[in-house]
Structure 1
Amino acid sequence: MAHNPHGGVELEKATELDDATAVARARAGDLDAYEFLVAHYTVPAHRAAVLLGAGAEADDVVQEAMVKAYRQLSSYRGEAGFKAWLLAIVANETRNLHRSRQRREGLVLRAASHEAFALAPDPAESALAHERRQRLVQRLRLLDDRDREVLVCRYLLDLSEAETAVALGVRKGTVKSRTSRALARLRDQMGAPEPARGPGEEGTDA
């Protein structure tokens, strides 16, 4: 495959706003184009894997998802963007992980709580965000897989309904109805009795 010494610069400019260009070039065998997509989407893919339950094995899930995405580029149609399409593969790989091993208690909670703490803007907000994220992820873990997945996509990964539909392999209307039911169940979980907490915290994360 011929390599264009200026291709990297041109590619960066062309794909900064248009993933479709990078996908088209990757399909044609341009490895630099796929490396661009990998660099751009590894972080959200890793975050999705952690929040969907991969825990300490999130790196392996993301690596496998990236390999499979490359092999399946011919099936990419661009309906909701490359990110949503990639996260669908990440979600499927995470489900495969669940089926291949017993779930390990605390991995999702610790990973998500650590990330929330690291991203908070200042110490005071960091402590509060850490506490709230801990409680939220604890309650999410009590929901069934379908409820947890749709809430993670919509509210922790900030995907639109259309992107969530692609990521979970369902219709947009299903995302809307499933989100409504999952939120109701989460609110019930957030209102359930638990060890003593500070006043005024109930229901703030739903």
Structure 2
Amino acid sequence: MKSGREADADFSDYVAARQHALLRTAFVLTGERASAEDLLQTALAKTYLSWSRIRDPRAVDAYVRKVMVNEHTSWWRRAWRHQEHSTGQPPDCVGTAAAGSGQADGVGERDAMWSLVRTLAPRQRAAVVLRFYEDMSEAETAQVLGCSIGTVKSQTSRALASLRRQLSEAGATSPAGGS
């Protein structure tokens, strides 16, 4: 068992090494920089309280991600329960970029896609973020979300169907669609 100072130093080293990657994950979950920073800070505070109980150093990232997903879901539920729904609509920029294949078009399409991802239900968004942004397997995603692999598959399937529907309604076609 490490002394308090050694554990604090280990935690500080971990945060220094991983904070940027974890902040990116938090941003993809929340869609806003300030909310992402709040989410990460909350997750790291909860992780710090459990730091001495984390036995496998390789499991720390998964633990922090799980805390972020759970905390974000909790925030979303609290906001929904208090009728604090966002009134903003996703931008109408999907499929409206000027013709061309420049880098700016790709950035606009990526930003539009993440705008659509942010409209997903929290568990669906978490599944998409962990599977496709964090490049986790279905089993790893299930472990982080605390659910079965089948639930990950169904949440991911529903999320992708919703994204396809939204893209279709916006008049866009997926790159795999060939247009």
Q: Quick one: which of 91, 102, 111 aligns to 2:69?
A: 91
* 1:79-117 per-position Cα deviation (integer Å, ceiling 9, x unaligned): 9732121101111222233344435466x98xxxxxxxx
Given that residues 65 and 89 in structure 1 are in contact (C-alpha distance below 8 angstroms), is that contact kept between their aligned partners in structure 2?
yes
Given that residues 43 and 67 in structure 2 are in contact (C-alpha distance below 8 angstroms), is that contact kept between their aligned partners in structure 1?
yes
Distance in structure 1 (CA, Å) of the matches to 2:174 and 2:9: 46
State the AA in 1 paired with 2:27: V
Given that residues 11 and 51 in structure 2 are in contact (C-alpha distance below 8 angstroms), is that contact kept between their aligned partners in structure 1?
no
Q: CA deviation at 1:29?
A: 4.5
Q: Work out the percentage of aligned pairs sharing the same amino acid.
A: 31
Give the structure, 1 or 2, with the largest relative contact order (CA under 8 Å, sep 6 or more): 2
Q: Quick one: which of 94, 111, 116 aligns to 1:134?
A: 111
Distance in structure 2 (CA, Å) of the matches to 1:74 and 1:104: 38
State the AA in 2 paired with 1:90: M
SS at match of 1:191: helix
Aligned partner of 1:45 in structure 2 is 22
SS at match of 2:130: helix
State the AA in 1 paired with 2:175: T
Change (3 A) 1:39 1:60: same
Distance in structure 1 (CA, Å) of the matches to 2:15 and 2:119: 32
Aligned partner of 2:43 in structure 1 is 65
Aligned partner of 2:152 in structure 1 is 175
Report the TM-score when normalising by structure 1.
0.64
Q: CA deviation at 1:38?
A: 0.9
Aligned partner of 2:174 in structure 1 is 203
SS at match of 2:68: helix
Change (3 A) 1:46 1:192: same
Aligned residues: 162
Cα-Cα RMSD? 3.2
